Amino acid sequence: MKKVFVKSYGCQMNVYDAERMADVLSGEGFSETTAPEDADLVILNTCHIREKAAEKVYSELGRVREIKEDRARHGLETRIVVAGCVAQAEGAEITRRAPAV
pLDDT, one tens digit for every residue, the chain (101 residues): 899 999 988 777 888 898 999 999 999 999 999 999 999 999 999 887 766 777 888 899 999 999 999 999 999 999 999 998 888 888 888 888 888 99
Q: Which helix (H) or strand (E) holds 80?
A: strand 79-84
Calpha distance 86→91 (Å, rounded): 8
Kindly report the pTM of this predicted structure: 0.90
